[in-house]
Amino acid sequence: MTPSKEGKNTNKQVNVTGMSDEELIFTFQEGDVSAYNEIVARYKDRLTNYIYRYVGNYDECDDIVQDTFVKVYTSKHLYKEIAKFSTWIYTIAINLAKTKIVKQKKYKTFSISDVYEDENKDFDLPDDSFTPDVEANSKYLSMHIQKALDQINENYRELVILRDIEDFSYEEIVDMTGLPMGTVKSRINRGREKLQELLKDIYKEE
């Protein structure tokens, strides 16, 4: 346990519900487990939604989310104020999901025939009226959206989910993935186009 900072009494009951995410992780670094419990409460559903969209399997999703929180618990000292906490925890989840997919070899990369020559090209995105999470509250649509996500290239799927479903900014996605901004934008663009193609019949029905 990290020694408490001067003037901080870790034995004192602290109200963590009103804290920002960053305040929570710093409080947890000082030894207050209630701050960790609040982090779990805030992020469990969000991470479950993200990881399920990425891996498409509830059992694997549950394992990855649990592993993510274990990693947060054991590596809390690695968080630094230079990054948003949400960026940090999603990066952990992303890396764990990728590692699991590689180890189990459950996913086959789908080739995309319409790949542009310059992956780093930065260009305008298509009409933002289409996003893969439109009307996702409908079980029917949600099922077909997931099937479509499973069919696009893993590199595109990851970024589309982060941008259009989890609503992270391009800058935050750059921080999470370490990719250049142009690559992030172009991959999101291609992922959206492929999803739009796969879902066009579904949206016609709507």
Determine whether 42 is exposed, middle or buried from the number of CB atoms within 10 Å of its CB (0-12, 13-18, 19+): middle
pLDDT at 128 exceeding the cut of 60: no
pLDDT of residue 131: 52
**pTM above the 0.85 mark?**
no
Task: Return mean pLDDT, the chain.
Answer: 79
Asked if the domains at 21-104 and 108-206 fall in one CATH topology, the answer is: no
Report whether 91 contacts 176 (CB < 8 A): yes
- With tokens 């391009």, the residue in question is 170
pLDDT of residue 100: 83
pLDDT of residue 191: 93
* CA distance linking residue 206 with residue 199, whole number of Å: 11
User: Between 25 and 132, where is the model more confident?
Assistant: 25
CA dihedral 25, 28, 32, 36 (to 10 degrees): 70
pLDDT at 42 exceeding the cut of 60: yes
pLDDT of residue 4: 42
Question: pLDDT tens across 86-111, in order?
Answer: 999 999 999 999 888 777 654 443 33
Q: What are the structural domain ranges in the chain?
A: 21-104, 108-206
Question: pLDDT tens across 138-163, in order?
Answer: 566 777 788 888 899 888 999 999 99
pLDDT of residue 198: 86
CATH for 108-206 is 1.10.10.10
In degrees and rounded to multiples of 5, residue 9 shows phi and psi of: -105, 105
- Options 1.10.1740.10, 2.60.40.10, 1.10.40.30, 2.40.480.10; which CATH number does 21-104 get? 1.10.1740.10
User: Between 197 and 39, where is the model more confident?
Assistant: 39
* CA distance linking residue 174 with residue 187, whole number of Å: 12
pLDDT of residue 104: 62
